[in-house]
Every structure is written in structure tokens, then in C-alpha cells.
Amino acid sequence: MHRNKALGQPSSQFQIDAAGWAVGAQHVPSPNFDARAEGTEIALLVIHNISLPPSQFGGPYIADLFLNKLDYDADPYFDQLRPLRVSAHFLIRRDGTVLQFVSAHDRAWHAGVSSFCGQERCNDFSIGIELEGTDFDAFADAQYTALAALTVALKAAYPLMHVTGHEDIAPGRKTDPGPFFDWAEYQARYRVQQKQANIGEAAPDLAFRLM
């Protein structure tokens, strides 16, 4: 645990606390969530990408969207976002900084109309992680490092069984994280960090991107 780290600074280690918040991430609570149904098993991790405006990185707009504070007049693209009320559990910025908007115990509004292995409404049983990026650009090394570390922590806290992309649970409607997301790199880094953390050996391991 790194409780002495400044919030918002990139961290290579995370721990999920009793309330479902990640120590090591910046906590920015969103109003866009609701409770999961009692007894729901959180079994799926969904990887997304997002940039606002499209293909522009580093601004406040992603967080503002998840907080219902977006200035819709700041860019012409934002006008179409006015009716949206969305969120993800986590956002990983290009420098590896991790922001958390919704407790992993709760249901964030990230997947929309979706289905995984015949089970619909993926928001009900999944955790959503947004990577700041696009379908047309390589993701940053720091993002893979943070994503792997966060995945290890989430796997230690929840009965996660599968990791997949938004494009896989909403085919034809969504395309993220897209062709530039390196699934093999993500999985390899997860395995290394899982071994270093010495957790997960007694539980079934994650299956990556089951189609």
C-alpha cells in the first residue's frame, strides 16, 4: 500500500479497500452509478478507450463528462454528448495516472447495450476501465503498467474470470479499445505483476479476451 503517495500520481501498485476504492488512484466520485443487484458476482473486466475531443489527450473533458460537468460549448463535438449520463469505474491517463469515479462494488454506466457469453447487461457484473486513447494510436507504456497493476488488485478483491474489450461485448456498436491495444502485452505484464504480488495462484486465473 502507498497511502503516502500524492493522489493522482502514477502508481505501480494498488489495493482495493473495503469500500471498493483503489488505494493509489485519485478518487473523483461520479453521480452516474447505481447499486448492483444483491448477490451479483463481479466476474468481468471490460477495457475501453476514450478521448475528448476525439484524438486529443490531456484535457479535463473525460472527467467532466463522467461528473456531468462537461462544458458542451467548449468543442463542437460535445453537443452530441448532452443527453449522456455515463461513467466508468476507472480512467487511466496517458502518463499512467489512474482516476476512479465509481466504487468497484457498484455498477458504473460504461457498457451500454451489451452481452458476454450469452449474459446481457454487462454493467451488472463487470468493472469498466477506460484508457485515454483512440482506435488509431498506440497506447502508452505507462498505461499498460498501470492497467496490469490495477488488474492484479481487482483480481485479488473480486471473483473476476474474464477480461474483454468493449468491442467484444457490443460488436457493431463499439470498436474500442481497438486494433492498437496490445492484448498480449497487457496479459504478459499482468502475469509478471501477479507473480510479483504472489496472489491469485489459489483461484482460477483470468481468461483474456474470450470471444
> Which residues are designated catalytic?
130
> Could you write out the DSSP letters of every residue in 98-155?
EEE-S-TTSEES-S-S-EETTEE-GGGGEEEEEEE--TTSPPPHHHHHHHHHHHHHHH
Phi, psi of 88 (to 5 degrees): -135, 160
Is the N-terminal amide bond of 177 cis, ω within 30° of 0? yes
Q: What distances in angstroms separate CA 174 from CA 28, 46, 49, 163, one per listed residue?
A: 26, 12, 10, 16
Rounded CA separation 121/115 (Å): 6
Name the nearest CA neighbour of 16 among 5, 25, 4.
Answer: 25
Cα dihedral sign, 66-21-154-191: positive
Contact (Cβ atoms closer than 8 angstroms) between residue 51 and residue 73: no
Strand partners of residue 49: 131
Around Cβ 82, how many Cβ atoms within 10 Å? 8
